[in-house]
Amino acid sequence: MAGEELFYLPVTDLARRIEAKTLSPVDLTQLYLSRSEKFGPRLNAYARLTPEIALAQAAAAEKEIRRGHYRGPLHGIPYAAKDLLAVKGVPVTWGAKPYADQVFDYDATVIEHLNRAGAVMIGKASMIELAGGMNYRFASASLQGEAKNPWNTNCWTCGSSSGSGAIVAAGLAAFAIGTETWGSIICPSAFCGVSGMRPTYGRVSKYGAMALAPSMDKIGPMARSAEDCARIFAVLAGHDPKDHSTLAVDKAAFTYSPSMELKARSLTVGWLTNAWKSVDPGVAKIADATEKSLHKIFPTVHRAALPQGPWDDVGNVIMGTEGAASFRELIRSGKVSELADPLGQINGYVNEQISAADYWQASKIREQLQGKMADLFDSFDVIATVSQPLPATSLDFNLETGLSFPDPLGAIGNLCGLPALSVPCGFTDKHLPVGVQFVARAGDDFGVIQAARTFQGHSDWHKRHPKLI
């Protein structure tokens, strides 16, 4: 198979062919590289391609597999890493001009894990500058320019894992690694019509990743299906003595096989009634249809409501304060003015003024919120809603005024470190994808995988892909 469909095969299918030696990792890598060279620049999807690394890793994988040493489902599979992950000797820009020439002499832990699994890194995915840590007003807030949505190149991919979303949606790699502090995996997954997983905080090491808000930052996979996410997450997860925010060995590790679902519990799903204040009419139609299909798929679905409280405010104070601390030198030196976005150039100064007392107050509320969510998860295994209340926005959209609505589930999920998985659940009249997200209690990453995989077992939205010209 050398046609367009090959580029959209899930990791699970590619892995079967590679293990059976009917698909060469070198051929696959060359095909993805060549497609990435053609479409990557049109979409502003990459910070850079890494063909030397990719071809060397692919050749090594091929040699090992030929000798009968098959490492597992990512062996020989090409992927892209968000350009905030350190890769030894490769520039890592954090999407921002002040760091355009930055190079580290070590690999991030997730890159080490992927290397050990035999995955093939074909490039660094573009991203919003500093992952949006200084805030931003326009999609162009990136050293690589605005990432264009493969479903409609006049639309944005969402951020901050913008390139990761574009790469997976356009079939430029089999999967990508994204990161989320607040919305940066879930939103691009929804806008780009891919499956994206935000793991429980602390299950994936952040060592070697740019720090934005260290108490909220997480790293996760973006791929073609929930099952792909599960298999990639199993490689990424694990305790890391180099990152003290990682969970203990037994709580961080994750193993996955589809057979786990045969003996899995029957999920109780809560469909959220108050996740979004208002929803775009096209998305609302899809949300209604999704709720109906959940009733058919899962034995128990009830309406659920998030606890009320100033969760967005708490999230903003914590993220803003930690972000200002993470980039304090950038702010104080004045180099923050080199950022592309007019809001990003100045907002750090404001966040730097938030007091420690306010940060501490927010952290106390955060503790209470965890208890409230634990109570909610006593009644539900997973809660669900549409991933975003609107489809992809236009490239010139003012995000500060147009995309700034309350997002209590995003705030709660990221403040409490809850796992989430967004998968496509429909398309608007303008052929833009819409996602549904499943969220579970901390540590129950398998719960969101099971829910999303079950949903995908009854739908084919995730199998659709854009026509690139």
Indicate which single residue of 5, 288, 367, 396 sits in contact with other proteins (rule: CB under 8 A). Answer: 367
One-character DSSP codes across 172-229: SSSEEEEEESSSTTHHHHHHHT-EEEEPPTTSB--TTBPPSSTTT-EEEEEESSHHHH
Q: How far apart are CA 74 and CA 95, in angstroms?
A: 27
210 touches other proteins by CB under 8 A = yes
H or E, element range at 109: helix 109-116
Tokens of 381: 């295994």
Of residues 152 through 181, those in contact with other proteins by CB under 8 A are 158-159
**Number of residues in contact with other proteins, rule: CB under 8 A?**
73
Of 142, 164, 184, 422, the catalytic one is 184
Site for other proteins in 276-295 (CB under 8 A): none
Q: Which residue number, 15 or 147, has a Cβ lying nearer to other proteins? A: 147
| 396 lies in the binding site for other proteins (CB under 8 A) | no
DSSP category for residue 394: B
Cis peptide before 160 (omega within 30 of 0): yes
Amino acid making up residue 216: M
Shortest Å, Cβ 310 to other proteins: 4
Q: How far is the CB of 316 from other proteins (least distance, A)?
A: 5
145 binds other proteins (CB under 8 A): no
- Catalytic-labelled residue, pool 160, 161, 195, 225: 160
Return the number of the residue (55 or 211) whose C-beta is nearest other proteins.
211
Is 242 known to be catalytic?
no
Contact 46, 126 (CB under 8 A): yes
Angstrom distance (rounded) from CA 204 to CA 415: 16
148 tagged catalytic: no
Q: Please report whether residue 102 would count as binding other proteins according to CB under 8 A.
A: yes
**Measured distance CA(233)–CA(218) in Å, rounded:** 12
Please indicate whether residue 160 is annotated as part of the active site. yes
Identify the active-site residue in 24, 36, 82, 126. 82
User: Interface residues for other proteins in 293-312 (CB under 8 A)?
Assistant: 309-310, 312
Tell me if 55 contacts other proteins by CB under 8 A: no
CA 58, 64, 69 angle in degrees (round to 5)?
Answer: 135
Comparison of 260 and 350: residue with beta carbon closer to other proteins: 350
Which residues are tagged catalytic? Answer: 82, 160, 184
